Amino acid sequence: MNKFREKAMHVVFALCACVSIAAVVLICVFLFANGMPAIFEIGVTDFLLGIEWRPSNNIFGILPMIIGSLYVTAGALVIGVPVGMLCAVFLAKFCPDPLYKLLKPAVNLMAGIPSVVYGFFGLVVIVPFIRDNIGGRGMSVLTASILLGIMILPTIINVSESSIRAVPTSYYEGGLALGATHERSVFHTVLPAAKSGIFAGVVLGIGRAIGETMAVMMVAGNQPVIPDEITDGVRTLTTNIVMEMGYSTDLHREALIATAVVLFVFILIINVSFSLLKRRNEK
């Protein structure tokens, strides 16, 4: 009976894995089957390197959106990665138990807040602050970067903390035995041993940042132009799709699906690059 149950569970797990793989394959087939013809019709160079997006004139250049996505994602990482990593170190190695019982649920709660709530917070709090103290209209690359930096914190903190706690205690104790202080043993012994998991948290944070739509749409300004300063408005690839998909037709609709193809390839390149970097560091 036990053997039958074990075989049955193996079949169930295998089916679940096949369903997951099939879903990814179907998404890829749909995107490339509907997006690649539009790219070739518009022209690969004109589509990827064009600086004008005017669907009414059949001009579809997504370079401003590509650059906008890069700027916003990079800004979010500059803000979110250091804060997230240091917070994870504090929770794992420095935080007193009574305070941990308060901070850990708060971090988990941040992960459950809807994107539109983050966007409303950015619109009401961050946008006026940037407009009054730094300049510009407030809806800008900087505003979107700050908001996304806050949004990716739970992902980076939780994954990094789990990685730090997974490091054997002997690493930390060995550092202390060699005369290192508590702080030096944590930052020079434990953190390097946990870098693989921290990299995974950063990759997940990048995926969250580059794929976020609603919050960015509410605070970024949504201007399909290449920003000259961090206080200028910007439009990302995801917001470009969401804003225009509802009323698009024919080539316009296909161009938006082609934009999703570019976004998919972009995320794939990031994941592969981090995977190669991780393997290189492990050697």
Q: Are residues 29 and 133 in the same domain?
A: no
- Please give the full DSSP string across 68-97, using - where no structure is assigned: HHHHHHHHHHHHHHHHHHHHHHIIIII--H
Domain encompassing residue 138: 64-282
Q: Are residues 34 and 87 in the same domain?
A: no
Domain assignment present for 59: no
User: And the tokens for 59?
Assistant: 């001009």
Q: Are residues 27 and 95 in the same domain?
A: no
Q: Are residues 143 and 73 in the same domain?
A: yes
User: DSSP letter at 194?
Assistant: T
User: And the tokens for 216?
Assistant: 């960015």
Domain assignment present for 56: no
Domain assignment present for 172: yes
Q: Are residues 42 and 73 in the same domain?
A: no
User: And the tokens for 1?
Assistant: 């009976």
How many domains would you assign to the chain? 2
- pTM of the full structure: 0.84
Domain assignment present for 139: yes
Q: Are residues 127 and 235 in the same domain?
A: yes
Domain assignment present for 57: no
Q: What is the predicted pLDDT for the residue at 1?
A: 64
62-88 tens-digit pLDDT: 888 988 888 998 999 999 999 999 999
Helix (H) or strand (E) holding 53: strand 53-54
User: And the tokens for 124?
Assistant: 């009401």
Q: How far is CA 142 from CA 23, 83, 128, in A?
A: 36, 17, 12
Q: Are residues 152 and 40 in the same domain?
A: no
Helix (H) or strand (E) holding 204: helix 195-211
pLDDT band at 146 (very low <50, low <70, confident <90, very high): very high
- Cβ-based neighbours of 157, under 8 Å, separated by 6 or more: 84, 87, 88, 91, 107, 201
Contact 151, 215 (CB under 8 A): yes
Domain assignment present for 55: no
Integer Cα distance of 160 and 178 in angstroms: 26
217-262 tens-digit pLDDT: 888 888 888 888 888 888 888 888 888 887 877 888 888 888 888 8
Q: Can you give the CATH number for the domain in which 243 is found?
A: 1.10.3720.10
Domain assignment present for 58: no
Integer Cα distance of 224 and 107 in angstroms: 34
Domain assignment present for 54: no
169-207 tens-digit pLDDT: 888 878 878 777 888 888 888 888 888 888 888 888 888
Contact 150, 80 (CB under 8 A): yes
Q: Are residues 249 and 154 in the same domain?
A: yes
Q: Are residues 156 and 33 in the same domain?
A: no
Q: Are residues 138 and 233 in the same domain?
A: yes
